[in-house]
Amino acid sequence: MKMQLAEVARALNIEAKEEWEDISITSVCFDSRKIESGALFIPLVAENDGHKYVEAAINGGAVATLWQEDHSENIPDSIAVLPVSDTLVALQQLGKHYLMKINPKVVAITGSNGKTTTKDMTAAVLATQFNVHKTFANFNNEIGVPMTILSMEPNTEVLVVEMGMDRYGQLDFLSKLAEPDVAVITMIGEAHIEFFGTRDHIADAKMEITHGLKEDGELVINGDEPLLTTKAKEVSQEVLTFGSLDNNDMCAMDIVSDATKTSFKVATWPEVDFTINMIGAYNVFNALAALSVGNIYHIPVDKMQKALASFDLTANRTEWLEAKNGAKILSDVYNSNPTAVKEVLYAFEQVPTEGKRIIVLGDMLELGEKAAEMHSNLAQAINPDRIDSVYLCGELMGHLAEKLREKFDETQIHHYQKDDLLTLTSDLKNELMSDDIVLLKASHGIHLENVVSELI
């Protein structure tokens, strides 16, 4: 980005000083450890108050800072200070201004599972014909979405923005902030069911992504999900569907998955073979969502085919890695819920190997009153004829361990508490041989990414 500080001030309804016309802002940052020269520092007020780190931001190259007006002490005098009533609201307001200034087409993506993968696939498809900017990592909330917007280059033609949700009203706000031209809902699962109670209520919350959808925009949904197709009838914009059922606008056929990739056909283009470098039929539906968006923007099918075959996937989403000893690791440790675990387990059990298949599962969080039951029920998806060893981490996974002992030998089941990852890692390293394959999946709060790091 590039804006003069005076423009930033006017966007925030602050009277601009004359000298601010000569101060260029080339980035926006709320983390003083990642500050760059020419940055505007945004000291967010949370458990760790960002105002404490303004001096560090100045030392890192910040040329201006916002300052929340209820902080009357230690106001810096070595750089320009823009007083605001709430620094988070100001960040969002500035993001809205910059979005209107650059004026790209906006594709917003949400869903209980698959939104990050779909975001990556969609961005790759659209990048074959447009200058595309996409959400980095997990910048998908009230802070992350405006930061994603503000990190756009001025020549951005399409913004692909991921939107997360864990409460009512969140997607309503994000959708109205970004005002998407296309909104995508990948699927409805059990993620955050602790807060919503039922999948039906989760679907209601996901449909909030349409609240800012432009009047002439399109809604792309999983047409295999009755909760979505029923609620989409209330939307005035055009609705496009994808899935496995014949009545979908984008329907998958002939899905074949092997150790590292999945191929499929689409009824729309039956002569074209698509391939994604990911295992699991469930990832085909993420690809169908991306193809649906590509079709809206008239991307030639051969370009979409090439894009899906080589897109860059955000780290820790069904990612194959190699351990130090040569063992193959399937890392999927960013988030977890029962639907996602069952899907990746089924795909993993089909992967051929000359060694053992080992799984490492951590607690699935935010499942509410039925959490114990949902963990225990995962036992149905774990086949002792296909899985040789099971490592479980977290209090809730104790319920699964108890159930698995009914069909596995005691020596095959290993259970650890969340604060004992070091022991889990050590025991896993001692078992893991070079020709083995291992799957790791958990909610991010369990931090199995630390186990992955130690293995590789």
d(CA 289, CA 305): 13
- Say whether 117 counts as a known binding-site residue: yes
**Would strands 328-332 and 319-322 be described as parallel, antiparallel, or unpaired?**
antiparallel
- Say whether 113 counts as a known binding-site residue: yes
For the chain, what is the total number of helices (H) and then of strands (E)?
16, 21
341, 353 contact by CB (below 8 A):
no
Q: How many other C-beta atoms lie within 10 A of the C-beta of residue 315? A: 14
Q: Which two tokens stand for residue 12?
A: 């925030």
304, 292 contact by CB (below 8 A):
no
Exposed/middle/buried for 314, CB within 10 Å: 0-12, 13-18, 19+? middle
Question: Phi first, then psi: what are they for 443, rounded to 5°?
Answer: -65, 150
| Count, residues in the chain | 456
List residues bridging with 393 in a β-sheet: 362, 416
Residue with tokens 């399409």: 158
- Say whether 111 counts as a known binding-site residue: yes
Q: Residue 405 region, left (φ>0) first, then alpha (ψ -120 to 50), else beta?
A: alpha
Q: Which two tokens stand for residue 285?
A: 């539906």
Terminal Cα distance for the chain, rounded: 36
List residues bridging with 185 in a β-sheet: 110, 221
- Say whether 116 counts as a known binding-site residue: yes
d(CA 309, CA 272): 13
Q: How many other C-beta atoms lie within 10 A of the C-beta of residue 322? A: 12
How far is the CA of 132 from the CAs of 126, 165, 186, 418, in angstroms?
Answer: 7, 24, 20, 39
Question: Amino acid identity of 172?
Answer: D
Annotated binding site: 111-117
Known binding-site residues for ATP equal: 111-117
